[in-house]
Amino acid sequence: MQHTTAPIACIFDLDGVLVDTAVYHYQAWKQLANSLGFDFTEAQNEQLKGVNRMRSLDMILQWGGIEKSASEKDRLAAAKNEQYVAMIQKMTVAEVLPGALELLTALKAQGIKIALGSASKNSSLILERTELAHFFDAIVDGNSVSSSKPDPEVFLKAAELLGAEKENCVVFEDALAGVQAAIAADMMIVGIGKAENLPGAQVVINDLSEITISEIEALRTR
């Protein structure tokens, strides 16, 4: 490969990779489902990983066998987000996932470019509450893209902002939609979670404490 001499760049998803906000999404969606008269399970919540807010709402309404007009959907999505934002306002550095702080610190120390590539529209608040914002050279989130994962837009935009070639970018993802987006973007992929849930990732780890910079750089030769 002709680009092996160029430095790698790292693009991180947020929820489930750097911080654990899935529990808050789950609680907020569950409250919404319950208010509409049906339940929402943790297994269903797993299916919403990496999916944007309106698409998530559509899926939940479908599971509940409920139809709503576009304006009602907007109102429900806004209500869910209000609940969720109220919860994440109370987040602290304690909610940064294992290994995340150490890996970001090591990447920064070596001058490796770091971007966020997340569907979240609340990423700036979460990064501020968890004191991670200063690590990022670029932030691409749900406020700056028009297509959600598995569309590769979020990762391609991140690479562009970092001034990195896509083949030199490594994406860190915990969701199938995110892995598919990274494959579509022609990037290297580190999956966080269970291998059977993340087909296409070159390497799968439980959390960021299980990978080193040299192992990340070695992905180019795989």
First-last CA distance in the chain: 11
The alpha carbon of residue 35 and the mean position of all alpha carbons in its chain are separated, in whole angstroms, by 27
- The answer to whether 99 and 210 have CB atoms below 8 angstroms apart is yes
Q: Is the peptide bond before 150 cis (omega within 30 degrees of 0)?
A: yes
The alpha carbon of residue 141 and the mean position of all alpha carbons in its chain are separated, in whole angstroms, by 9
Map tokens 């399970």 to a residue.
41
- The answer to whether 150 and 180 have CB atoms below 8 angstroms apart is yes
- The answer to whether 145 and 153 have CB atoms below 8 angstroms apart is yes
Rounded Cα–Cα distance for residues 122 and 114 (Å): 19
Helices (DSSP H) in 64-152: which residue ranges?
Answer: 70-88, 100-109, 123-129
Rounded Cα–Cα distance for residues 19 and 126 (Å): 8
20 is catalytic: no
137 is catalytic: no
Other C-beta atoms closer than 10 Å to the C-beta of 74 total: 13
Q: Which of 13, 58, 174, 186 is the catalytic position? A: 13
Rounded Cα–Cα distance for residues 62 and 82 (Å): 22
Active-site amino acid positions:
13, 15
